[in-house]
Amino acid sequence: MDNCIFCKIVAKQIPASVVYEDDDLLAFKDINPAAPVHLLVIPKQHVATLSDCTEEHTAMLGKMLALAPKLAAEHGINVKTGADGQRSGGFKTLINSGPDGGQEVYHLHLHVYGGARPWRGLGT
Ligand code: 5GP
Ligand code: ZN
């Protein structure tokens, strides 16, 4: 898609700090992180917004979400369970959709946030 910044990242026309790539997905660091770890997971194929997704996108959406815990583990923000059963760590996943959803870049992306708090503008 012309003039889509994330398509240009997929095409390596503009640089990004890529943390994962396969045939279908790309994940990279957000340029303006709101948390110590702030990653974006995108489909390589241009889809503007979650609002455009239907059942035919189920596999791709599943892959995007399933990648989040793998990336979280690689970046030390996965949920950990101590010997006493207490959980620590963890991360937040978010997809903004449309103007009312706070979407700024119209190429579908899943945010993955984690690390020491506070996180900018993300509440609890
Ligand atoms: P949205 O508000 O659309 O859910 O989030 C868009 C995100 O993309 C923002 O967190 C913003 O910092 C990030 N972003 C925008 N342009 C670029 C870019 O050129 N490179 C990278 N790595 N992130 C970007
Ligand atoms: Zn795009």
Top mutation candidate among 37, 40, 51, 120 for ligand 1, by most atoms within 8 Å of CB = 40
Residue 26 and residue 30: Cα distance in Å, rounded?
12
List pLDDT tens digits, range 33-84.
999 999 999 999 999 999 999 999 999 999 999 999 999 999 999 999 999 9
In this structure, the strands spanning 110-114 and 18-21 are: unpaired
Q: From residue 93, how far is each of 3, 36, 68, 77 by CA, in Å?
A: 26, 14, 8, 12
Give pLDDT, residue 41. 99
Nearest to 27 by CA among 16, 15, 17, 40: 40
Using the predicted structure, report yes or no on whether residue 124 has a pLDDT greater than 70: no
Spatial CB neighbours of 90, under 8 Å, sequence gap ≥ 6: 77, 78, 79, 114
Q: Kindly identify the ligand whose nearest atom is closest to the C-alpha of 34.
A: 1
